[in-house]
Amino acid sequence: MRRATALNLFGAAMLLCGANSSSFALAQNAQERPKQPVRRVIDEVGRSVDVPAQVNRIVTLAPNLAEIIYALGAEDHLVGVSEYTDHPPAAKEKPSIGMPVNPSLEAIVGAKPDLVLATTSINLVKTVDTLARLGVPAYTTDPHTIEGTLRSITDIGDVIGSSHEATALVANLQARLDALQTKLKSEKPVRVLFVVWEQPLQSVGDNTFIADALHWAGAESAIHTKQNWPTISLEEVVKLNPDYIVYAENQMGDDSNGSSLPAGIRPAIARHLDELRNQPVWRDLSAVREGHIAIVDDEIQVPAPGLIDSIEQLARELHPAVFSPQSVSHVSSVPRTWHSIPSEAVSCVR
């Protein structure tokens, strides 16, 4: 068999280099940084991660994680964020390391992070695996519910050394949720069709974040299924006859000057209502006839502190009677407060 011996030699050289690299990299990485004490923690998916005692450089692989870092007041340690991280707007200035689903490993490694944060909501297992192989500590959060989000905030706070701020933030958020629950205690949950996508018509399943958020907002999805993003037919909608139809939209972009959100929402609701009233079948739904359309900020899908704001906003839309008028005028979720709030300030600001 006549093959170019040059090819063989070259191939051999390449593969030997490549094959040795990862074990080599692990060994070398330890030599690169000054010997730091590390502690072993178990992350939310059960991996053990060796985190340095002092976390000064953080890279986040998903927008919600960056939002949490800002909420914990640790944004000065944030040295790399994924694309489309724009909550809060200041995050846009941070250097990017690529898309959440396929980040640039080089950019991550080049940022020399002490810790990389990932989430099962959007990142891939193999990204975290590869980082681990390269000797970069990667901590994965796994929030499935609202409570899970709060737990993630606590966990992240522990890992980056901001436990104090995390506890305060979580307490604040929990208090808001509890207050909400109290207000809505005697209310019947509103049956809602949450529209994720219109063509084809997609809603949410029982195991999604949004379903949980709906519960906290005093609502429940009219659709019950194990599939996360079920495609449903119009017939099904007619049969279920929901009380409200809810859309999620990105509100932040339009309202950066801090005008009150209701002013931004009303025209959007009116627009949706117009569209629906012009479509057959839709216009005969009781929700459309009564104008029961609600719009919620799409933060409702993001496991981060802003989620609570969205839940509160949705609750106000669905249960207007329960919320007293002065609360309505202070209702703006904007400007968001990105710093931890002392618990005694809760009732004033909100």
Binding mask 65-94 for other proteins (x = CB under 8 A): ------------------x-----------
Q: Which of 38, 53, 99, 234 binds other proteins (CB under 8 A)?
A: 99
- Give the nearest distance from C-beta 231 to other proteins in angstroms: 7
Q: Site residues for other proteins, window 211-270 (CB under 8 A)?
A: 226-229, 231
Question: How far is CA 171 from its chain centroid?
Answer: 19
d(CA 70, CA 329): 27
Binding residues for other proteins, how many (CB under 8 A)?
60
d(CA 160, CA 51): 9
Near other proteins by CB under 8 A, which window of 19-27, 178-186, 268-276, 308-316? 19-27
Q: Which of 39, 53, 89, 110 binds other proteins (CB under 8 A)?
A: 110
The reply on whether position 148 binds other proteins by CB under 8 A is: no
Q: Which of 41, 45, 240, 322 binds other proteins (CB under 8 A)?
A: 45
Angle between helix axes 306-318 and 163-183 (nearest 10 degrees) is 10
Nearer to other proteins, 214 or 285 (CB): 214
DSSP string, 4-65: -HHHHHHHHHHHHHHHHHHHHHHHHHHHHSPP--EEEEE-TTS-EEEEESS---EEESSHHH
Nearer to other proteins, 189 or 205 (CB): 205
Nearer to other proteins, 132 or 346 (CB): 132
- Write down how long the chain is: 350
Eight-state DSSP code of residue 98: B
72 Cβ contact list (under 8 Å, min separation 6): 153, 156, 157, 160, 162, 165, 166, 169, 340
Pairing between strand 244-249 and 190-195? parallel
Phi first, then psi: what are they for 104, rounded to 5°?
Answer: -85, 110
Q: Which of 29, 54, 250, 329 binds other proteins (CB under 8 A)?
A: 29
The reply on whether position 97 binds other proteins by CB under 8 A is: yes
Beta bridge partners of 176: none
- Give the nearest distance from C-beta 221 to other proteins in angstroms: 15
Nearer to other proteins, 103 or 218 (CB): 103
Nearer to other proteins, 135 or 189 (CB): 135
The reply on whether position 16 binds other proteins by CB under 8 A is: yes
The reply on whether position 11 binds other proteins by CB under 8 A is: yes
Contact 102, 85 (CB under 8 A): no
Q: In 10 A of CB 332, how many CB atoms?
A: 17
The reply on whether position 42 binds other proteins by CB under 8 A is: no
The reply on whether position 197 binds other proteins by CB under 8 A is: no
Nearer to other proteins, 96 or 260 (CB): 96
Contact 172, 346 (CB under 8 A): yes
- Residues in contact with other proteins by the rule CB under 8 A: 1-8, 10-22, 24-25, 28-29, 31-32, 45-46, 83, 96-99, 101-107, 109-110, 120-122, 124-126, 129-130, 133-134, 205, 207, 226-229, 231
